[in-house]
Amino acid sequence: MHSDQVVADSPVPVRAGVIGLGAMGAPMAGHLAEAGLLVGVWNRTAERAQRFSAQSGIEVAGSPAELAARCNVILTCVSADADLLEVLQQLPGSIRPGSVVVDTSTVNPATARQAAALFSELGCGFVDAPVSGGVEGAKNGTLSVMAGGDIANISRLMPVLESFASTVTHMGPVGAGQATKAVNQVMVAGIAEAVCEALALAEKLKLPPERLLSVVSAGAAGSWFLDHRGESMLKSRFDVGFKLSLLLKDLKICQQLARELDIPLPVVDAAVVDYGALVAAGEGDNDISGLIRLKRRPADKE
């Protein structure tokens, strides 16, 4: 399913390449390969790219520039603003006019606009298309895409986006996708704070975990996070899902936007402190539900 305002329009056969094969990028690339749209991949960690190639039969490019020369759609999925710009700055000189770059990373809206300006000068399109739905959504092909950019470019990309997403929504010009993702991450952080605090309290109250999850999920407190992480966090399993170090990075983007817009985001500020403490303790690779470890700790006594 996709937004009514976006109609698939790809008169030129899609030849897609993927840059970034992490926990989200690899399954997204897998869906593109299954759809017959993927012609090459590249990843900074070569072993990861070779592993994907061995599983899918898709060729590994020697560099982002080499990949761009083969493709008319380049999808990026990297960790941070600096990483994205470093990769994209390798594409001029080999990317073909008329190609479209679609970035599914989570970065600052200003970074998306900077990237768009770079490719506009080359006669290429750029779409910021961050995603939500977790690692499960990437694996199942059910992600929600929030896209910013020219509607014609997004229409051309629909076969690509629909291969790994159940919803694609055009949010406005370049940068609007990343702005929407910032709003999404504020909600994610707030929900995680509330759910982790609540379940830590439930443990102290010695409530039966299975019945607790069943009853609260069925009412007004139900949420994606509770449904997908409630059971695992109560069993102290934090090895699946979205790395908390990445959410911390996203929340710092939200803080920067809040400063620019002069709006308070106290929940985000609290979450940054909490996730910062977990990263400092060496737990950055844990799922964001690892936050419950902080909530379980005794309150500081004066």
DSSP letters, 218-273, are TSTT--HHHHHHHHHHHTT--SSSSBHHHHHHHHHHHHHHHHHHT---HHHHHHHH
- Report CA-CA distances (Å) from 159 to 12, 19, 91, 299: 11, 18, 23, 51
Contact 58, 85 (CB under 8 A): no
Active-site residue, from 139, 181, 243, 249: 181
- Annotated active-site residue 181? The verdict is yes
Residue ranges of alpha helices (H) inside the chain are 25-34, 46-56, 64-70, 81-88, 109-120, 134-140, 151-162, 176-204, 209-217, 224-234, 244-261, 266-280, 292-295
> Among all residues, which ones are annotated catalytic?
181
